């Protein structure tokens, strides 16, 4: 069960198709148009209880065209990049543009902002892996976890490996393409029984398979994370400091980025509307993006408008230094695009770091949160209330696991109340951060 994938050939074929679609749209009367297309291929393996559970081979295509007729626009997409489907999509988009209302902000990004340089960002590392080899890796990962004393059941281990090509072109004559790969290995285990059962997981995800954590370390870490949750109690209700594990701290940064995203701002649905230049974080906190970092998860020389990407600083010494804008949202706000159509790329912090133990010690008494649940974040007001699980901390040391409680506050006061950032930086996603210690939130648990 293997499939061949020649990324360069695929890229050339997609570029041809994108160019054809742009030409067709112009012939049909579009004043401007833009096309995105992608092909992805991959393999997904699940093993459980020492045996294969499923093997999945995937191959996905996508194609979307937006046409502009005057100030009206229409969009059509298809999961087929064949010539006939593309032609039908172009016609459908033109048809839709007859009905939509005029939008003064509609249109492509300015031509002079199109990316000119396409450096190799080292993000394409195919993994020549047979199904059998993949199964062996996943089995080794699960086994390393299952053999740990106290692990009673397994939700299995999964390996996924994929690569793909995306191409974007528009009627300015811009045509950009990029190949990329992503490989992940994860393991989820169960400990305890009956009402005391707990599960947790660990994973590794990389552009380059050689950088993946070893199967054994992932399995062992999943076991450790699962076992440490056994015997959880409910914490007392009250106001106290809260520390967020790195993956969860990255989530807080995600809420901040949503709030400075152009779409939220021009819709007036952000608690950070009209707050540019104001102090939101402590003065030692600086946050920006590195879209051209080699080998990173979200690297790209151009954004979804074809605009060149650059190292933006969104928070400088605690102040909101820049919004995060696409060409469209920038026009809606009478500003300039920041090359962020499609979002932020590789968020990095520039802050003093403390060790994990030092942060615990500074917290003294409170909760360390290792899991968050539910959607209780209101981007319009910044109100925050989510389900959580983690550990009770007293005298600066972890005491016992806690669960079935909520943490609540407001993002603005949480950002202002950021006490420190840990050096335990998680580099698996596109946002890199260590743990965050927030001075005070309301914990709702038992009596």
Partner 1 sequence: MNQQTADISAHHALAHAEATLLAPGGLSLASLDAGLEHALGPGVDFADLYFQRSWQESWVLEDGEVKDASYDIDGGVGVRAMAGDKTGFAYSNQIHAEALAETGKTASGIARRGERLKAAPCVAGRAQDRYAGIDPLSGLSVEDKIAMLKEADRVARASDPAVNQVSASLSGVYEVILVRASDGTLAADIRPLVRLNVSVILVRNGRRERGSAGGGGRFAMSRLRDEKAAERYAREAVRQAQVNLEAVDAPAGQMPVVLGPGWPGILLHEAVGHGLEGDFNRKGSSTFAGRMGERVAAPGVTVVDDATLPDRRGSMTVDDEGTPGGYTPLIEDGILTGYMQDKLNARLMGMAPTGNARRESYAHMPMPRMTNTYMLAGQDDPDEILKSVKRGIYAVSFSGGQVDITSGKFVFAASEAYLIEDGRITAPVKGATLIGSGPEAMGRVSMIGHDLELDAGIGVCGKEGQGVPVGVGQPTLKLDELTVGGTQS
Query: Three-state DSSP class for 98?
Result: coil
Name the minimum Å distance from CB 443 to partner 1. 8
Which DSSP letter does residue 101 get? P
Tell me the per-residue interface mask from 196 to 235 with partner 1, x by CB under 8 A, - otherwise.
Answer: -xxx----------------------------------x-
Site for partner 1 contains 8 (CB under 8 A) = no
Stretch that binds partner 1, among 55-63, 251-259, 275-283, 339-347 (CB under 8 A): 55-63
CB of 63 to partner 1, least distance (A): 10
75-81 long-range Cβ contacts below 8 angstroms, 24+ apart = 81/14, 81/17, 81/37, 81/39
H helix or E strand, kind and range, residue 218: helix 215-227
Residue 403 binds partner 1 (CB under 8 A): yes
Residues that contact partner 1, how many (by CB under 8 A): 79
Q: At 392, which helix (H) or strand (E)?
A: strand 383-394
Binding status of residue 442 toward partner 1 by CB under 8 A: yes
Q: 20, 77, 279, 355: which one contacts partner 1 (CB under 8 A)? A: 77
Q: Which of 6, 8, 51, 122 binds partner 1 (CB under 8 A)?
A: 51
Build a one-symbol-per-residue string for 147-166: x at contacts with partner 1 by CB under 8 A, - elsewhere: ------x-x-----------
Residue 278, exposed/middle/buried by CB under 10 A (0-12, 13-18, 19+)? exposed
* Residues 102-131 contacting partner 1, CB under 8 A: 102-103, 106, 131
Site for partner 1 in 16-45 (CB under 8 A): none
What CA–CA distance (Å, rounded) separates 113 from 47? Answer: 48
Q: SS3 of 159, please?
A: strand
Min dist. Cβ of residue 170 to partner 1 (A) = 17
Q: Least distance from C-beta 79 to partner 1, angstroms?
A: 4
Give the residue among 401, 402, 419 at the shortest CA–CA distance from 351. 419
How many other β-carbons are positioned within 10 Å of the β-carbon of residue 419?
16
Query: Is residue 136 a contact point for partner 1 (CB under 8 A)?
Result: no
**Window 83-102: contact mask with partner 1 (x via CB under 8 A):** --x--xx--xx--x--xxxx
Minimum CB separation of residue 312 from partner 1 in Å reads 26
Angle subtended by helix axes 215-227 and 131-146, to nearest 10: 30
Q: How far is C-alpha 117 from the geometric centre of its chain's CA atoms?
A: 25
Using CB under 8 A as the binding rule, the residues of this chain from 376 to 395 that contact partner 1 are 376, 378, 380-381, 383, 385-387, 389
Report in angstroms how near the CB of residue 278 gets to partner 1 at its nearest. 15
Among 29, 238, 277, 352, binds partner 1 (CB under 8 A): 238
- From CA 219, how far away is CA 201, in angstroms rounded? 8
Query: Rounded CA gap, 366 and 331, in Å?
Result: 45
334 forms part of the interface with partner 1 (CB under 8 A)? no
Give the position of tokens 């699960």.
Answer: 142
Q: Which of 6, 8, 23, 60 touches partner 1 (CB under 8 A)?
A: 60
224 is written with which tokens?
Answer: 């450790």
137 within 8 A of 185, measured Cβ to Cβ: yes
At its nearest, how many Å lie between partner 1 and the CB of residue 205?
14
């Amino acid at each position: 069960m293997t499939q061949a994938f020649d990324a360069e050939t695929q890229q050339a074929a997609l570029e041809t198709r994108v160019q054809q679609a742009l030409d067709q749209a112009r012939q049909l009367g579009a004043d401007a148009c833009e096309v995105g297309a992608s092909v992805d291929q991959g393999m997904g393996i699940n093993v459980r209880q020492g045996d294969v559970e499923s093997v999945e081979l995937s191959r996905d295509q996508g194609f979307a065209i937006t046409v502009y007729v005057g100030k009206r626009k229409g969009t059509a997409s298809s999961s087929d990049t064949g010539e006939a489907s593309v032609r039908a999509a172009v016609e459908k988009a033109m048809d839709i543009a007859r009905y939509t209302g005029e939008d003064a902000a509609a249109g492509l990004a300015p031509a002079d902002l199109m990316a000119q340089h396409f450096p190799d960002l080292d993000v394409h590392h195919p993994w020549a892996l047979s199904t059998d080899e993949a199964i062996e890796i996943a089995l080794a990962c699960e086994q390393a976890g299952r053999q740990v004393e106290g692990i009673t059941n397994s939700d299995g281990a999964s390996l996924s490996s994929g690569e793909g090509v995306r191409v974007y072109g528009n009627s300015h004559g811009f045509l950009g393409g990029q190949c990329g790969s992503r490989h992940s290995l994860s393991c989820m285990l169960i400990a305890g029984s009956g009402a005391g059962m707990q599960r947790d997981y660990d994973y590794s995800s990389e552009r380059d398979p050689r950088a993946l954590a070893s199967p054994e370390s992932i399995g062992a870490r999943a076991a450790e994370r699962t076992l440490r949750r056994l015997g959880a109690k409910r914490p007392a209700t009250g106001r106290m400091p809260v520390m967020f594990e790195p993956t969860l701290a990255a989530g807080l940064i995600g809420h901040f980025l949503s709030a400075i995203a152009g779409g939220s701002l021009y819709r007036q649905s952000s608690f950070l509307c009209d707050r540019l230049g104001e102090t939101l974080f402590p003065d030692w906190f600086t946050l920006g993006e590195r879209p051209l970092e080699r080998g990173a998860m979200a690297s790209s020389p151009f954004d979804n408008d074809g605009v060149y990407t650059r190292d933006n600083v969104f928070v400088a010494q605690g102040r909101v230094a820049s919004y995060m804008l696409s060409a469209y949202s920038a026009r809606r706000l009478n500003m300039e695009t920041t090359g962020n159509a499609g979002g932020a790329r590789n968020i990095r912090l520039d802050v003093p770091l403390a060790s994990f133990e030092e942060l615990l010690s500074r917290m003294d008494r409170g909760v360390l949160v290792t899991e968050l649940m539910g959607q209780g974040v209101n981007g319009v007001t910044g109100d925050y209330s989510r389900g959580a699980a983690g550990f009770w901390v007293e005298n600066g040391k972890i005491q016992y696991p806690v669960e079935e409680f909520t943490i609540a506050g407001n993002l603005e006061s949480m950002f202002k109340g950021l006490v420190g950032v840990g050096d335990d930086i998680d580099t698996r996603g596109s946002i890199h951060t260590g743990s965050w210690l927030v001075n005070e939130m309301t914990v709702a648990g038992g009596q």
